[in-house]
Amino acid sequence: MRQRRYQNFEHRVKAKKYLGQHFLHQKSTAEKIVRLLSDVPEADQIWEIGPGHGALTTHLVLTASKPITLIETDQELIPELELAFPQCRIIPADFLRLNLDQLAGNQRVQIIGNFPYNISSQIVFHILDHHEMVCEVVGMFQKEMADRIASGPGTKSYGILSVLTQAFYRVRHCMNVSPGHFTPPPKVQSSVIRLTHREDIDPVAREPLFRTLVKSAFNQRRKMLRNSLKAYYPDEVLQSESIFTKRPEQLTLQEFYSLTAACLNFRQ
């Protein structure tokens, strides 16, 4: 009876374009995505962002050994989720507006989700702001966004999101997902990536100046660093150091660390 009622909900609650909803319906794909979650000993709970009709949740509740929280902003879907997954804590809220520290309660979490494509970059930045408590992320993204997160130096898609994410997480591209696996099908290809919290985070990455420099550099990505970062370094340094003749997409993560450390020294 529960399964029949659950299916009736699914036919009644349609995807909302303004929420960027594309519900995953391919069961084998959902199962593969859930299997990407590692058995991370230091994680105390699992959060799913945007469970929708529960394609991922269905497999998650069968395999997870940790408490599961479902975070869903679409109020129409809440009764369906409450009926289908009574063993889960359900938060009817926008993930971007949540106080993650308060929600986690001093515990570490793993995050999984078929993220709405229109806010996926904001979701990543929100996670980065709380990276110490988020030890792993398995997420479905628009392929273009996934490529940006995973890209390395020398590529067109390498940018702010690439550098800041890779400073705190190891990024692995796991699989591509075609539009036909969703209802309604998106007009773009999708990709699943996994972020695993780094154990070797450079202390400089935690400095607010690191993010400031990365953003300032890529906001003028066609300019050499001596022009885009001239507000942060003495003129003689800008003219004498060869790194400032490069453009931001040419810099490795380590070189961004070096730039930040040097700027911190100048400010002392």
Cβ–Cβ under 8 Å, residues 100 and 130 = yes
**Which tens digit of pLDDT belongs to each residue from 220-257?**
999 999 999 999 999 999 999 999 999 999 999 999 99
Question: How far is 81 from 88, CA to CA, in rounded Å?
Answer: 9
Among candidate residues 179, 201, 223, the one where a domain is terminated: 201
The closest alpha carbon to 139, from 166, 167, 117, 157, belongs to: 117
Task: Please report, for the domain that includes residue 235, its CATH number.
Answer: 1.10.8.100
Structure tokens at 46: 């699992």
Among candidate residues 201, 233, 259, the one where a domain is terminated: 201
Distance of CA 28 to the CA centre of its chain: 23
Please tell me whether residues 256 and 163 are part of one structural domain: no
Which residue range forms the structural domain that includes residue 244?
A: 204-267
Q: In total, how many domains does the chain have?
A: 2
Please tell me whether residues 15 and 93 are part of one structural domain: yes
**Which tens digit of pLDDT belongs to each residue from 58-108?**
999 999 989 999 999 999 999 999 999 999 999 999 999 999 999 999 999
**Which tens digit of pLDDT belongs to each residue from 118-138?**
899 999 999 999 999 999 999
Please tell me whether residues 210 and 194 are part of one structural domain: no
Question: How far is 234 from 236, CA to CA, in rounded Å?
Answer: 6
Among candidate residues 171, 201, 231, the one where a domain is terminated: 201
The closest alpha carbon to 162, from 118, 215, 117, belongs to: 215
